[in-house]
Amino acid sequence: MKILVFGHSGQVATELRALDGHDVQIRALARADADLTDPNACAAAINARAPDAVINAAAYTAVDKAESDAETAQIINADAPAAMARACAARDIPFVTISTDYVSSGEGYTPWVPADTTDPQSVYGRTKRDGEIAIVNAGGRYAVLRTSWVVSAHGNNFVKTMLRLGAEREALTIVADQIGGPTGAAEIARACIKIVKTLASKPEKSGIYHFSGAPDTSWADFARVIFDAAKIPCAVTDIPSSDYPTPAKRPLNSRLDCTATEAAFGISRPDWRASLTDILTRLNFPKD
């Protein structure tokens, strides 16, 4: 199966490229190959390369910057995926895109199911929600895979930030009232591959799905596990989100109910502690 991937150096795109040759052919497009601020160019890239499936692993993910750059975020997170989805629908090939827990209100304590009403509280969340709606309306074979707290050995993410700060400081204050499931980019990549393969023969499984690591935890507790596993003696003090204001509001409840994903594709929630072990090994932690 020839799979065209939008995104090249991001966390999930990097892990998708690593799967090239594992019974799939991955062609990942960098910015020079497909400008995400030009939706028509994204559709043209699909038509020119004639893949068997498309995965969109690219997005405007600068959550705080999006608050003052809403127009660009809208194009990259909504208009470009919409154009991709329409091009895939016209060719009758599967299209999978990665979305986010930020499409919810972030309230309450119950894990969100895909059918719950969306109520994004940030520009980033709103633009991703708009992209979801456009993809559904395109009418093709599709899966919107909402995930949360993506981590890997690549790019910028919470694990790498904690490793850096933990080595520099004896103590950190970390938000403890945001709860969610850290999710390894490698696990997301493998899930995307399994989903596109299924959609190729079972288009009726098209829909919105959730995928996040287990068990749910707080950022503060996640940091403690990171420091313990990496053997970094950095103390963590819990603080509320109100003590760490940001331009974009973060959801307090990022718990995702992933049962529909397991039922449709046989993909269960990965244990993020195993993902963390793999990431630390790649980054040569604990240090000798």
pTM: 0.97
| Mean pLDDT confidence for 109-117 | 98
Asked if pLDDT for residue 5 goes beyond 90, the answer is yes
Average pLDDT over residues 213-217: 98
Domains (range + CATH), the chain: 2-157+181-213+254-275 (3.40.50.720)
Q: What is the structure's pLDDT at 287?
A: 81
Share of the chain above pLDDT 70, in %: 100
Q: Which residue in the list 124, 142, 209, 244 is annotated as catalytic?
A: 124
In whole angstroms, what is the distance from residue 107 CA to residue 270 CA?
Answer: 24
Average pLDDT, the chain: 97
Catalytic residue list contains 60: no
- Residue 183's pLDDT is 98
Q: What pLDDT sits at residue 268?
A: 97
Tens of pLDDT, residue by residue over 160-172, are 999 999 999 999 9
Report pLDDT for 128: 98
pLDDT in tens, 124-170: 999 999 999 999 999 999 999 999 999 999 999 999 999 999 999 99
Percent of the chain with pLDDT over 90: 98
**Does position 288 have pLDDT exceeding 80, yes or no?**
no
Q: How confident is the model at residue 96 (pLDDT cuts 50, 70, 90)?
A: very high
